[in-house]
Amino acid sequence: MSRPPLQESPLDPITIEIVASAFRSVVDETFIALMKSAYSTNIKERHDHSTAICDRDGRLIVQADMSLPIHIASMTGLMETILSKYRLEDIAEGDVFVANDPHVAGGTHLPDINYAAPLFLGDELIGFVCNIAHHADIGGMAPGSMAGGMSEIYQEGLRIPLVRLFRKGELQQDLMDLFLLNARIPDERRGDHFAQIAACRLGVRRVKEIGERYGVATIRQVFDELVTRTMARMREAIAGVPDGTYRFEDVMDDDGVATVDIPIRLAITISGDRAVFDWRGSSPQVSGNINVPINATKAAVAYGLRALLDPEIPNNQGILDCCELVTDPGSIVDCRAPAPVAARAHTSQRLIDIIIGAFAAAIPERAVGASNGANTTAVFSGKDPRTGRDYLYFETLGGGFGGRNDRDGKDGVQVHITNTSNLPIEAIETEYPLRVVSYGFVEDSGGAGRHRGGGGLRRVIQPIGHDCLFNGAGERFRNAPWGIFGGGPGRPGRYVLEGEDGETILDVKPSGVTVGPDERVVIETPGSGGYGAPAERDPASLRDDLVSGKYSRTYLETHYPAAKLSD
Amino acid sequence: MQADDWLVGVDVGGTFTDFYAFDRASGTVALHKTSSTPDNAADAIVSGLRELAEKTGFPLSAVRNLAHGTTVATNALIQRRGARVAVVTTENFRDLVEIGRQIRPKLYDLKADHPMPLAPREMRFEVRERIGAAGEVVTPLDEASVEAVIEKLKACKAEAVAIAFLFSYLNPAHEEAVKARIAAALPEIAISTSSEVQPEFREYERSSTTLLNAYLQPAFSHYMTTLKDALAEMSPGATVGINQSSGGLMSVDKARDFPIRTALSGPAAGAMGAIHTARLSGRADIVTLDMGGTSADVALIRNLETKLSFDRDVAGFPVRMPMVDINTVGAGGGSLAWFDRDGLVKVGPVSAGAVPGPACYGRGGTEPTVTDANVVLGRLSGHGLLGGSMTLDVEASRRAVGKIAESLGFTVERTAKGILDIVSANMVRAIRAISVERGHDPREFVLMPFGGAGPLHAEGCARALGIKEIIIPYSPGILCAQGLLVADRAESFVRSGRLALAEENASELADLVASMMTEAEGWWEAESVEPKARSRKLAIDMRYASQNYELQIGVDELPSVDELRRLFFAAHEQAYGFHNPDDPVDVMAVRLTALGRLPSPGTPPIGAGASATPQPRTHRPVWFDGEAAIETPIYDRASFAPGTRIEGPAVIDQFDATSLLFPKDVARVDDALNIIITRGDAS
C-alpha cells in the first residue's frame, strides 16, 4: 500500500518537540501501568518490560525511557511480521496481536511476549502501540523456561507465531486458553496478559487524544521527522569516529550442552558516516540456548552505538537504520530454527563487550573494561512446605562494571543490555520458603588498573525445611572479563553448592541441582576489567581499596607491586 | 477573642526565609522576607521574627502558634553537610546500602553511577542476629558482636549511627536492644533505627531512609534546640510545629529525632496553602503548579486532600515515607532554551540559576531563558520584578532569544512563544504523571499556579490539559509560608505486613486498627491535643496477591472485608482500566493519621484604595501569540476588591508575581481576594 504524500511544508522544531513530548508521555505512562498491575516478578519488580509506539510502516517511533535495550529490535521484529502477514486493510480497530517466536515472529526468546494494537485516527491506521513483557514462565521442559541443557526451541516453551488475540475488540478465548494451559501457574500468567492488554488499550486511548488535538497529518509528519532527525544525528556521531576497520574477538564460556569457548568475531568498518558491523567468522550456532536471533544482535549494535557515541539520543528507528550488519546465516549471532535461544542475553552482553573492545582503539576515552558480561541467573523451584503449592523464584544478579577512563568501574550493578532490579530479601523470604544467608561484594574481584574494574556480587541461598531444585546460567566463569589499555582482568564468577561435607563447584550452566535444607547455593558473579596500567593508580584510591575491605592486602601487593600500602 | 492572637508561618528556603503572620483578633496580615542563615537556620527565624514584630507593632509574647517549614534537611543532603555516620546491619548484609537495587541510573550512559552511600564501607558494621519472614527470631542477638560494634563506633569517631536489620518492621526487638546498648555506652551519638524511622517492607529503601535520617540528626538537633530555646524566651505561649513532608506539623522533639520527615517540608506547605485557598474559593479539586527559578512542583488535590506517595529520591537516595505526592520537573524562569543535536529545541532542565541568571538580569547571562521569553513578549515588564526594585534589560533578552530565532528563521516573538510552549509541554507531562496516570481527568480540576513564575505560565498548561478554570491565590509568591498557618498537627502510624483479604482475617484487621487507635490516643495526650480538636484518617494499602504495587484506599471507619474488596476493585479499575474479580487480594499496610486541628486564619483584609472597578495603571503592547502584539492594560493587584471583573487581555502585577489574563478570558476577584479566571476558549 502506497502512502499518500506528506504535507509540503516541514514542521518546525518547536512543534515537533511539543508533539513528541506528548508521545513520550504515553509510552512512559503505559510502562508504569504495566509494571504496577502485572503479576510476574520479572515485570513488577525487575522491570523486564518495554512499551513503544510504531508507525504504520512498522518503524519504531518512541520507546519508554526505562525500556530495555534488547527489546528495541523485537518491537520492530513484531511489526515486520504483522506487515508481512496482513494487509493493512485487514487490520481493524480493536484488534490485538500477540507473538513471541524468535524464528518466525521477530521475537528474541519465548518468555518475552510481544503485544501490539493498531492505532486508528478516524478510519486511518497511523501505527501501533506495542509492549513486551517477560513472563515468569512460558512452559517447556523446566520451570521458568530459561534453563540450560536444551538443544531445540521446542523444549523451551510455547511458540506463539503471530496471532490475533482480539478481533475488533473481541477476545478469542480459545487462544487465551491455549496460552494459559501451556504455562506453569496459569492464574499468574492470566494477570500478566491482562496487564499487557490493558496497557495496549491505554496507549490507544491516549494516542487518540493526541490525534484529536493535532490531526493525522501533523502526527505522521512528526513520526517522520523524529526518525529522520535521529538518523541524521547518529550519522553525524559516527562521522566523528576516525575511518578504519576495528577488530575484536572474544569467546563465550559454555553453551550448557556440548560446546565451550565459543568464538565470536567482529570487524567494524567506519567510513564517513557509515558503520558496518561484520560478524562473519563467528561460531556456527550451538546446541545450547545461547544463540542470538539477528534482531537481538541488532539491538546489541544499537546499544553499543548509542552508549559509546551519543547516550542521550532518542531510541527510535533512526538508530536501527544506522545499524548495518553482515553475518553468516546460521551462526551464533544470526541463528535459525530450531536453535534454542532462551539465554541469548548472555551472548548479547558479550557482543557489547566485543563492540566496545573494537571501538576502544578509535575512541579510547569512551571505552570501558569488559564488564561482568553475564546475566548471572538463579532459579529456585520446589513445593512450599508452608502451603503445599509450587513456587518458582527467578532472578538475575548484577556484577562488575568495567573501569573507565576517568573513574573506577562500579561494583555490583547490572550492565549494558540489562538493568533489572534485584528482588528485596524481605520479598524473597516472604514469598518463597528460602533464606538469603548473605548478600554482598566478592572480595578481590575487580580487575586492577589506573581505574579498577567493579567487583562482583555474592548471594547465598538456603531452602527452608525442604528440598528444592536449582538451575543456573553463568558466563565469564571460565573466561575472565578483560581489562583495557593495560588494566587487569576481573575475577570470574562461579556457582558453589555448600553442604555439611564441604563445597562442590557447580557447572557454568547447572541444571536440576537438588539442594537439601542443610545445603546452600553460593552465587558469585564475575567482576570486571580495569582501565589503564595498575602502576598509574593513585595511592589514595589504593588505600580506599584496602580500608574498605573490598581488596585484601595480598591481592593489592600482588597486583600493584610498586605501591606502598600503609595502614 | 484575645487582644493579640498571632499565628505565624515561617518558610525557610535556601536563599530567603519568608514570614506570613496573621492576627486573629484584628484580621491583620503581615508579610516579611529576610535572608536565610545556612549555618544555623534558626538565626534567621529569630531575627526575622523580631523584625516582623517590630515593623508590625505586636509583642512577640502574643505569638500563639508558630508553624515552620524548612529545606534545611534537603539542602544538607544535597550539599553533603551531615554527620559522620555509621550503619549497623544484620550479619552478612553490610553491603546492602551500597548495592541498592543493583541498577544504573541511566541505561545508556557508561559513566553515570548512583551516589555512594553516606556511610563508607569501613563504617558499616554487622551484628549477629536474624529475624525471619514471620517476625520470628532465627538467630538470637549476639551480645558479643554488639560490644564489638560499640568499640568500632568509638574507634571511627561516628557522630551518628543508623541501625537497620532485616525484618525489623515485623519484630523490632533486636534493633531496640542494640539501640539501648549503644545509647548507654556512647551517650553522645545520635541513633536512628529503621523500625522507628519507617517500619515498612523492603530493606534497602528502609535502610536508606534510616541512614539519611541519622546523617541529618546532629545538625538538625542543634537547629531545633536553638529554635526551641529562643522561642521559649521570646514567645513562651507559642506552640511550635515543624511541617512534615506529608503536610502535617510535628513537635520540635519529633523533628529532632526524625529530620528526614522534613525532606519535602516546603513543597508540602505549598500544597497546604493551595488547599486553604481552594477552600476559601469553594473549590475542591485542584492541580497545583508551583514554578520558581529552576524547577516546578506539581501536585493533585482531590476533595481538599493531597494524595500521598511513599517512594521518592532525595539527593539521589531513595526515601520511603509518607510524602505529599509532588512531581518535580526542571522547568523554571531560569531554564535555558537550547538546540539538541537533532535540531529540536529543548528548554531546561539546565538553568541559568541566580548567577548569571536570565540575560535580562544584566549579570552576564547571554543564553535565552524562559524569563527572557516572557520579557520579549512584553508579559514581564522591563520595569521589573519585586515591585520595581530590579529592572530588566529588554534588549538583552531579545539578543538572547534572537540567537535561536535566527537559526529557526522565525521572528524573535514567535521563537519566544515557542520557548514558552515547550516549557508548558514539560510541565504538562509532569501534571499528567500525577493526574492522568493516577486515573484522574485533569479537565475536572482547577489549576492553581503559584511561586514567582507560576501565574505567567498557567494559561499554556491549562489549555494543553483542557482545564477551564484557573485560581491565582492572594499571595502566590509566599503561599508556602501561608500554607503553614493552616497545617494541622499530625502523626502517622503504620502496620506493614501481609494479610490475605478474607473473612477469617477480619478480626485481626480490626485488632490492628484498634491497636493503632491506642497509639494515636497516646500521641494526642502527649501533644496535649484537646478532644474536640482531634480527628483521624484511616487508609488501607491493598494489592493482588501476585502484584508488588499497592493501591491505597482511604476510609472513615474500617469497612467489612467485602466492602474493602469492592473498593479495591474500583480503585484498580480507575488506575489500570481493569480488575480480576476472582484473584486473591492482600492487605499490605494499614495507615492511621492522627490529627490535631489548630486555629485557622480567616481571609486576608482588603487593602486601602482597592475597588471593585479598578483602573489600569498603564498600557503596553503584549504578545499573547507569536503573531502580533495587543495593547494591553496593566493592573496593580492591590487595587482589586472583591467583585472585580476584568475581561482579557490584561496583565496583573503584584509584589511577588505577575499574572496574565489572555484575550477572551474573564477574571473575577472573590471574597478571599483570589483571582478566578474562566478561560474563554474552554467549551
CA-CA distance, B358 to B335, in Å (whole number)?
A: 9
Domain membership flag for residue B434: no
Residues 615-644 (B) with a CB less than 8 A from some CB of A: none
Examine the fold and report which residue of A200, A232, A264 is the final residue of a domain before the chain moves on: A232
pLDDT at B3: 59
Does B178 share its domain with B106? yes
Lookup: cell for A95: 484488534
Same domain membership, residue B194 and residue B239 = no
Task: Tell me how close the Cα of A246 comes to any Cα of chain B, in angstroms.
Answer: 20
Query: What is the nearest CA distance from A426 to chain B, expressed in angstroms?
Result: 6
Residue B416: all three cell numbers together: 519566544
> Would residue A179 count as lying in a domain?
yes
Average pLDDT, 10 consecutive residues per value, chain A (567 residues): 47 90 92 87 82 96 89 89 94 96 94 96 95 93 82 95 96 97 90 94 92 92 95 96 97 91 98 98 96 95 96 93 97 96 94 97 96 92 92 91 97 93 92 96 98 98 97 94 98 96 93 94 98 96 96 96 77
Q: What is the 3-state secondary structure (H, E, C) of A163-203?
A: EEEEECCEECHHHHHHHHHCCCCHHHHHHHHHHHHHHHHHH
Task: State which residue of chain B sits closest to A28, comparing Cα positions.
Answer: B433
In a domain, A244, yes or no: no
Q: Specify whether the CB–CB gap between B327 and B430 falls below 8 A.
A: yes
Q: Give the residue from A28, A36, A224, A387 with the most B CB atoms within 10 Å of its CB, the best one to mutate.
A: A36
Q: Which of A232, A250, A266 is the last residue of a domain?
A: A232
- Own/partner contacts of B403-412, CB < 8 Å, gap of 24 or more, are B403/B368, B404/B337, B404/B339, B404/B345, B404/B368, B407/B339, B408/A12, B408/A13, B408/A14, B408/B345, B410/A12, B410/B626, B411/B626, B412/B376
Q: Which residues pair with A461 in a beta bridge?
A: A436, A521
Q: In what order do the strands lie in the sheet with A376-383?
A: A390-397, A376-383, A468-473, A513-515
Residues of B within 8 A of A190 (CB-CB) are 580
- Please report whether residue B174 resides in a domain: yes
The reply to whether B333 falls in a domain is: no
Query: What's residue B74's pLDDT?
Result: 85
B117 and B194: one domain?
A: yes
Name the residue of chain B whose CA is nearest to A305's CA: B108
Q: Is B474 domain-assigned?
A: no
Q: What is the span of the domain harbouring residue B198?
A: 81-216
- For residue B72, the model assigns a pLDDT of 86
Q: What pLDDT is recorded for position B143? A: 97
DSSP string, A5-18: PPPSSPPPHHHHHH
Domain membership of residue B609 (yes or no) is no
Interface of A with B in 546-565 (CB under 8 A): 547-550
The predicted structure's pLDDT at residue B683: 43
Spell out which residues of chain A touch residue B580, defining contact as CB-CB under 8 Å.
190-191, 194
Inter-chain residue contact A549 with B121, CB threshold 8 Å: yes
d(CA B74, CA B340): 31
Q: Given this model, what pLDDT does residue B384 score?
A: 60
CA dist., res. B648 & res. B470, Å (int):
14
Dihedral pair phi/psi, residue A244, rounded to 5°: 150, 175
On whether residue A104 sits in a domain, the answer given is yes
Q: Does B421 touch chain A (CB under 8 A)?
A: yes
Yes or no, beta carbons of A439 and B421 under 8 Å apart: no
The pLDDT of residue B164: 98
| pLDDT tens readout for residues B351-386 | 887 778 899 988 889 999 999 999 999 999 877 655
Which of A13, A194, A410 is opposite residue B113, by nearest beta carbon? A410
- Answer whether A495 touches B (CB < 8 Å): no
Q: Can you read off the three cell numbers belonging to residue B649?
A: 487581555
* Residue from B546, B588, B681, B683 whose CB has the most chain A CBs within 10 Å, to mutate: B546
Q: How would you class B668 by CB atoms within 10 Å of its CB: exposed for 0-12, middle for 13-18, buried for 19 or more? A: middle
In a domain, A240, yes or no: no
* Residue B449 falls inside a structural domain: no
C-alpha grid cell for residue A306? 548509542
Asked whether A409 and A532 are in contact (CB, 8 A), the reply is no
φ/ψ region of B185 (left if φ > 0, alpha if ψ in -120 to 50, else beta) reads alpha
Looking at A232, A257, A284, which one is the last position of a domain?
A: A232
If DSSP states are collapsed to H, E and C, what string results for B121-153? HHHEEEECCEECCCCCEEECCCHHHHHHHHHHH
How far, in Å, CA of B483 to CA of A361, rounded?
A: 59
- Whether residue B458 contacts residue B473, with contact meaning beta carbons closer than 8 Å, is answered with no
Q: Do B341 and A313 touch (CB under 8 A)?
A: yes
Q: What contacts A59, CB < 8 A, 6 or more positions away?
A: A76, A79, A223, A227, A316, A317
CB contact under 8 A, A435 and B204: no
CATH of the domain at B112: 3.40.50
Residue A491's SS3 state is coil
CA distance linking residue A219 with residue A223, whole number of Å: 6
Domain with residue B233: its CATH number is: 3.30.420.40
A 10 A CB-CB count for B609 gives 10
Query: By residue range, what is the domain housing residue A167?
Result: 13-232
Residue B99: inside a domain: yes
Rg for chain B (alpha carbons), in Å? 26
> What are φ and ψ of residue B57, in 5° steps?
85, 45
Contacts with A406 from chain B: Cβ below 8 Å: 111
Q: CB-CB: which of A20, A424, A549 is closest to B202?
A: A424
Nearest Cβ partner of B121 from A310, A439, A548? Answer: A548
Cell of B413: 516573538
B394's enclosing H/E stretch is helix B394-408
Residue A91 is predicted with a pLDDT of 96
pLDDT at A7: 46
pLDDT for residue B387: 54
Q: Which residues pair with A167 in a beta bridge?
A: A170
Q: Do A430 and B133 touch (CB under 8 A)?
A: yes
Rounded to 5 degrees, φ, ψ at B586 are: -115, 145
Q: To the nearest whole angstrom, how far is the Cα of A152 from the nearest Cα of chain B?
A: 31
- 100-119 of B, contacting A, C-beta below 8 A: 101-104, 106-111, 113
> Cα separation of B299 and B316, whole Å?
21
Interface check for B432 against chain A (CB to CB < 8 A): the answer is yes
CB-CB neighbours of B556 under 10 Å = 8
Q: What does residue B146 show for φ and ψ, rounded to 5 degrees?
A: -70, -45
Can you spell out the DSSP letters for B408-467? HT--HHHHHHHHHHHHHHHHHHHHHHHTGGGT--GGGSEEEEETTTHHHHHHHHHHHHT-
Residues B10 and B125 in one domain: no
Is the domain of A73 the same as that of A217? yes
| Within a domain: B604 | no
Q: How many domains does chain A divide into? A: 2
Domain co-membership, B155 together with B70: no
- In a domain, residue A36? The reply is yes
**Which is more confidently placed, B179 or B478?**
B179
What is the model's pLDDT at position B120? 97
Contact between chains at A18 and B421 (C-beta distance less than 8 A): yes
For the record, the C-alpha cell of A453 comes out as: 574494574
Residues B144 and B211 in one domain: yes
Indicate the number of domains in chain B: 4
Alpha carbons B305 and B269: distance in angstroms, whole number: 13
In a domain, A256, yes or no: no
Q: Could you please report the per-residue DSSP string of B3-18?
A: S--EEEEEEE-SSEEE
Residues B554, B643, single domain; the answer is no
Report yes or no on A238 lying in a domain: no
Average pLDDT over every residue of B462-484 = 90
Contact criterion met (CB below 8 Å) for B679 and B657: no
The reply to whether B510 touches chain A by the CB within 8 Å rule is no
Identify the domain boundary among B216, B237, B257.
Answer: B216
ipTM of this predicted structure:
0.93
Nearest Cα residue to A112 out of A130, A89, A86 = A130
B161 contacts: CB under 8 Å, gap ≥ 6: B85, B86, B87, B88, B153, B182, B189, B190, B191, B192, B214
Give the chain A residue whose CA is nearest to the CA of B421: A18
Measured in degrees and rounded to the nearest 5, phi and psi for residue B412 equal -60, -40
> In this structure, are B73 and B87 located in the same domain?
no
Same domain, B130 and B190: yes
Query: Residue B41's pLDDT band (boundaries 50, 70, 90)?
Result: confident
Query: Is the domain of B144 the same as that of B65?
Result: no
Q: What pLDDT digit, counting tens, does each position of B397-417 carry?
A: 999 999 999 999 999 999 999
pTM over 0.95: no
Is A269 among the domain residues? no
Contact flag B425-A22 (C-beta cutoff 8 Å): yes
Q: Between chains, do B425 and A36 touch, taking CB under 8 Å as contact? A: no
Q: Give contacts of B111 with chain A, Cβ < 8 Å.
A: 404, 406-407
Q: Each residue of A159-184: b (16+ CB within 10 Å) or e? A: bbebebbbeeeeeeeeebeebbebbb
Q: Which residues pair with B540 in a beta bridge?
A: B553, B590
pLDDT given for residue A464 in this prediction: 97
**Nearest-angstrom CA–CA distance, A439 and B100:** 11
* pLDDT over 90 at B87, yes or no: yes
| Residue B344 contacts A, CB cutoff 8 Å | yes
Cβ contact, residue pair B577, A44, below 8 Å: no
One-letter identity of residue A406:
D
Strands (E), B294-344: 296-302, 305-306, 308-314, 317-324, 326-329, 335-339
The angle formed by the CA atoms of residues B307, B332 and A26, to the nearest 5 degrees, is 55
Instruction: Name the residue facing B95 among A191, A424, A440 (closest C-beta).
Output: A440
SS3 state of residue A547: helix
- In this prediction, residue A287 carries a pLDDT of 94
Of B106, B340, B426, which is closest to A311 when you measure between CB atoms? Answer: B106
- What pLDDT, on a 0 to 100 scale, did the predictor assign at position A378? 93
Grid coordinates belonging to A301: 549494535
DSSP state of A451: B
Using the 3D structure, point to which of B181, B216, B251 is the last residue of a domain: B216
- Choosing from B530, B563, B596, the residue where a domain stops is B596
* Residue A52, H or E segment: strand A49-55
Burial (CB count within 10 angstroms: exposed 0-12, middle 13-18, buried 19+), residue B560: exposed
- B583/A contact by beta carbon, under 8 A: yes
A270 phi and psi angles, rounded to 5 deg: -100, 125
Mutation to test the A interface, candidates B87, B90, B99, B129, most A Cβ within 10 Å: B99
At B176-226, the pLDDT tens digits run: 999 999 999 999 999 999 999 999 889 999 999 999 999 999 999 999 999
* Chain A contact probe: residue of B202, B548, B568 with most A CBs at under 10 A: B548
